[in-house]
Amino acid sequence: MLKMSLLSVGSRMPGWVDLGFAEYQKRIRRKIQLDLVEVPAVHRGKHADIARIRREEERRIRNLTPGRSRTVALDRRGTLWDSRDLARKIQGWHEAGERIALAVGGADGFSDAFVDAAHETWSLSPLTLAHPLVRLVLAEQLYRSVSILEGTPYHR
């Protein structure tokens, strides 16, 4: 079984997001153990130092990342993967016995240094997505990729 952690900076999500995420989490549990780690966002005041806030949120992500994880930063500058690409990635990570840490930054994203230090950088879309949508799209795409690997008809 592939072990994944989704480390997401932000505040509590609306109930509909939690329900949707839990549903996809349940659907993939035979293939992927997906743990959600909510990383507290740093308070942003009127004259916030964005560079300092990014550094602090990135430090929090690193501190909560399970040891020996392959870090995949979700960032608009990343590579676009289609569903079959993601299925191949999941298969490869599983075969290599890797633990995966999917990192979603705060409102101001990641610094260049964090992105450069990640093993991979993945862009879900060239659009800017709200954090609740990122969580659901990510979970749904993991489920879709599992369905591709299992040959079920979900992915058509």
46-72: pLDDT as tens digits: 898 999 999 999 999 999 999 999 999
CA 17 – CA 23 distance, rounded (Å): 10
Tell me the pTM. 0.93
- Angle at alpha carbon of residue 120, lines to 117 and 124, rounded to 5°: 125
Q: List the one residue out of 1, 45, 6, 11 whose CA is nearest residue 22.
A: 6
* Stretch 71-95: mean pLDDT: 96
pLDDT at site 7: 96
Domains, the chain, ordered by start? 2-150 (3.40.1280.10)
| Range of lowest pLDDT (13-17, 139-143, 151-155) | 151-155
Q: Which residue has the tokens 């916030």?
A: 48
Residue 80: pLDDT over 80: yes
If one counts every other C-beta atom within 10 angstroms of the C-beta of residue 115, the result is 18
Q: Which ranges in the chain belong to alpha helices (H)?
A: 15-27, 50-64, 83-96, 112-117, 131-150
Q: List the one residue out of 90, 79, 103 whose CA is nearest residue 146.
A: 90
pLDDT at site 156: 76
